[in-house]
Amino acid sequence: MPELPEVEFAAQRLREAVLGHTLANAEALHPSQRRHFPPQAQRAVAGQVIARIERRAKVQLVHLGNGAVLEIHFRMTGDWEFTAVADSPPRLERVRFETAQGTRVSLVDGRALSVVRLHAPGAYVPLPAGPEPLTDAFSVEGLRAALGRRRGPIKPVVLDQQVVAGVGNIYASEALWEARIHPATPANTLSRERLARLRDAIRHVLETAPTGRYYARDDVSEREIWRVYGKEGDACRRCGSRIARLTQAGRSTYYCRRCQR
């Protein structure tokens, strides 16, 4: 599943490809995409300038010249591909945008679960979400305040979008290993020093994450990328102890029993 670093990278590529372009047409090519992005919405974006492209958590927002907003969720396997309008479209193209400048933006998606939605001018209301982890808004004091009354284990709390926006299951495990914090530690018992370590660790794992197409990384095995995620039974890179797995809130968590306390 594309996580925050992949979605950030996708938004950057989209900006480089079509920011300032004018949409000539849009088409949802798959029935499940048509449900969210029907012909009427497809027609409504034609003629609009792509004024701004932003990422919020794992959502990409394309702000159009008339104030309308295209909201894009890649879900499991979505990604952008860019081609010239004159060239043949890519495989697995589910939604197509073409600009007057001759660029085709294809939302490619093997599983076709991606969602594109058009919000009429003024109608887009952002979901409430915590601070973006890679900005100054994600502070130790803010984290401390958010966790003050949370008695539950820290790992599911890190996944809570109200606490910090866009940290997924893999990065939560990786960050807790980096910060040497046991995933079952009650969130409200973490000292200021440990929260500072956790904040820095979340940033570190997101900043050093491999970007690019998540599902196209055939050449790099996941076991080489991650420190703990998916590595139950492997030796911890820090202490050599075995990586363990537990289930929290229905999700797998990987951690080192010895060096995460």
58 a catalytic residue: yes
Say which residue the tokens 């925050």 belong to: 4
Assess 100 for contact with Zn ion (CB under 5 A): no
Candidates 239, 253, 255, 261: give the one binding Zn ion (CB under 5 A).
239
Give the interface segment with Zn ion, choosing from 3-11, 72-80, 227-235, 248-256 (CB under 5 A). Answer: 248-256
Assess 162 for contact with Zn ion (CB under 5 A): no
Euclidean distance between CA atoms 102 and 120, whole angstroms: 25
Q: Choose among 183, 191, 195, 180: nearest CA to 259.
A: 180
Among candidate residues 15, 52, 251, 257, the one labeled active-site is 251
Per 3-state DSSP, what percentage of the chain is helix, strand, and coil (rounded to 5)? 30, 25, 45
Letter string b/e over residues 165-178, b meaning 16 or more CB atoms within 10 A of that residue's CB: bbbbbbbbbbbbbb
Choice between 64 and 228, CB closer to Zn ion: 228
- What residues have CB less than 8 Å from 5, skipping those under 6 apart? 206, 209, 210, 211
**Are the C-beta atoms of residues 93 and 108 closer than 8 Å to each other?**
yes
Choice between 134 and 259, CB closer to Zn ion: 259
Assess 113 for contact with Zn ion (CB under 5 A): no
Give the interface segment with Zn ion, choosing from 23-31, 58-66, 81-89, 235-243 (CB under 5 A). Answer: 235-243
HSE value, Cβ hemisphere, 13 Å, CA-based, for 60? 29
Assess 236 for contact with Zn ion (CB under 5 A): yes
Assess 235 for contact with Zn ion (CB under 5 A): no
For the bound state, the minimum distance from the C-beta of residue 259 to Zn ion, rounded and expressed in Å, comes to 3
For the bound state, the minimum distance from the C-beta of residue 254 to Zn ion, rounded and expressed in Å, comes to 11
Among candidate residues 13, 58, 94, 227, the one labeled active-site is 58
For the bound state, the minimum distance from the C-beta of residue 61 to Zn ion, rounded and expressed in Å, comes to 40
Question: In what side-by-side order are the strands of the sheet with 78-84?
Answer: 23-28, 93-99, 103-109, 78-84
Euclidean distance between CA atoms 126 and 188, whole angstroms: 28
Choice between 180 and 213, CB closer to Zn ion: 180
What positions carry a catalytic annotation? 2-3, 58, 251
- Site residues, Zn ion (CB under 5 A): 236, 238-239, 241, 256, 258-259
